Structure 1
């Protein structure tokens, strides 16, 4: 697997301010963190008991696929950042392109993953089932691992690269919202 520790994302965040939230901003809590969101994120009922929160990114451009983001909470370190990042990268066929960025935000360790390639989607039973998988070429994953004082919060989304690329800034705004005013 090709690992690229990159400051490109950090430089992009410094160069381009994160989008401001609209006036109809709402908040929700996951573990000890308060996240802020607004349109085009649409809150959904979590589709499983393992999910702490779930949203759909409603693209204005009808040529782009709407993308679901899922929030998970796990006790302790949830197996650690490296083990989770390795597992997520392993959900792609072969050697995907990926970048990992680690940041400290207001005293909290936050790790970000961007991966792209052919995603192997689980066809029932979830990623741990070992069941049949469907190849999804030209897919991208964005994930954030936020290590809280007693729990880890994970944000993760996957979809067609063009659709995910179009929401990257809004993903970063959502993922970093507990650490901004």
Structure 2
């Protein structure tokens, strides 16, 4: 009887552990919903959800980088204007230390995720941070060795959506793979 009881307890412990690890794994998936749930994608487990700093931002996250670096800021929001106009605006938020053109150093990729067009923009340099937002005017803080990895999701029914990760270049690099993997799981209804 003792052997049965010990075996029973061991089996329950194993199944409880499996159930807990499955629940923990399930809890790690933070599904980001845009356009009233018509656009969804999973946030990388390493990103920490934050309260958006401004009302225009629908979702905000922080992504940690290598030791000694600051977290990158990730924002998701609906967008107005055309794809090229927004890319030009983002390029204008960067300058190069050597005086060369930021546009020439910007990488833009156009891809399809299912039937959805996605433009991925990668810019590095001195970021002209405008704490009040790009249209607020006011003081600008130059942030050296920064990088923006961003995506413009183009949908016929829901319009354009931005996903932007901005931070120290090393931090953005540490999170670039997770950012791109997230885009491959984009679902548009």
User: What is the TM-score with the length of structure 1 in the denominator?
Assistant: 0.78
Bigger Cα Rg: 2
User: For residue 86 of structure 1, what is the aligned residue in structure 2?
Assistant: 88
CA RMSD of aligned residues (A): 1.8
Unaligned runs of 5+ in 1: 1-21
**1:71 aligned residue (60, 76, 100):** 76
Shift of 1:163: 1.2
Q: Which has the higher helix share?
A: 2
1:28 and 2:36 correspond: no
Detail structure 1 runs of 4+ shifted over 3 Å in the superposition. none
Deviations 1:77-105 (A, max 9, x none): x2111000000001012522210001121
User: For residue 165 of structure 1, what is the aligned residue in structure 2?
Assistant: 173
Aligned residues: 154
User: What is the TM-score with the length of structure 2 in the denominator?
Assistant: 0.75
**Contact 2:61–2:73 at 8 Å: present in 1 too?**
yes
1:46 and 2:52 correspond: yes
**1:133 aligned residue (116, 140, 156):** 140
Q: Distance in 2 between matches of 1:121 and 1:38?
A: 25
The aligned runs of 1:136-151 (5 Å cut-off) are 136-148=143-155, 149-151=157-159
**Contact 2:64–2:171 at 8 Å: present in 1 too?**
no
**Contact 2:44–2:178 at 8 Å: present in 1 too?**
no
Q: Distance in 1 between matches of 2:169 and 2:90?
A: 16
Q: Which has the higher strand share?
A: 1
